[in-house]
Amino acid sequence: MSWSTADIPDLTGRRALVTGATSGLGYETALELLRHGAEVILAARNPEKSARAAASLKATTGHTPEVLELDLSDLTSVAKAAAQLTEPLDLLVNNAGVMAPPYRQTVDGFELQFGTNHLGHFALTARLLPLLMRADRPRVVTVSSFMHKTVRGISQDDFRAANSYRKWDSYSKSKFANLLFMLELDRRARAAGSNLLSAGAHPGYASTNLQTAGAGLDGVTLESRLLGLGTRLVAQSAAAGAMPTLYAATLPGLPPGSYVGPSFLEYRGAPKIVRPTRTAQDPELARRLWAWSVEATGVDLF
């Protein structure tokens, strides 16, 4: 039987934070969490977009989400945002992402995609860990991509990539890092005897502005036109793309370390548990990435 949003349990009393929740997958994730009774914090970089998203979500669900200003490409902003929260947190959805822009650096000097997609979420999870550990059944869901399958390895040089930048390679490596982080967080939580559940998800090919926003920073190019056309023709909706995240975030009894994607060739369809590549499951590589991430961000978990 296919899983749908009708299978999401009552989430009354549970508190969730979703990064990148002003549009696309994050917005759809926040929408369903609100519909099922959760208290939701929209964490995003642009206050105006956050306010518009919050108003839209309230009009649709009757529930008012909180808004938190968060720029994942700025580690000071991550620390400031986390410090504003004081109540226990049941669910953290590491969803926000940057895809395939021309070479840019974060405030802290890292390549933009790696700095935002991986290091920003690593630091945010670390700083929110005390609030997560105050919840009865805390869960962290990290959103990756099927493009992690193109990656055969990773190095500390990828954090900056100043002399060898290829935008799609860097994007894929950042999503590969998301999976290494998710699985290593699961290992460390279990080794520490914690009840924190770490899981991952990917949306398949979903229609959001992520595919064209990064490429569009180069101007209107053939690549951005083709990406836009492909998205319109063959991608599933953002609501459908959010289903694996919602499954990972809400399914009772989800096995720790689960990775969830669409059922049809991991491309589209109802969510199911899928497998990361063997390289993404390498514990030694994950431990090295963890050590590099601690060095880069100045924070640690477990």
Catalytic residues: 144, 171, 175
- What would the two tokens of residue 287 be? 């431990």
For tokens 């809400």, the residue is 250
* Short-list 192, 214, 42, 197, CA closest to 145: 214
Separation between Cα atoms, residue 166 and residue 105, nearest integer Å = 14
Element (H, E) at 291: helix 283-297
Q: Exposure of 59 by Cβ count < 10 A (0-12 exposed, 13-18 middle, 19+ buried)?
A: exposed
Separation between Cα atoms, residue 80 and residue 77, nearest integer Å = 5
- What would the two tokens of residue 81 be? 């945002």
Report yes or no: 168 and 120 within 8 Å, Cβ to Cβ. Answer: no
For tokens 């431990």, the residue is 287
DSSP 235: P
Query: What order of strands is seen across the sheet that includes strand 66-69?
Result: 66-69, 39-44, 15-19, 91-94, 139-143, 197-201, 259-264, 268-274
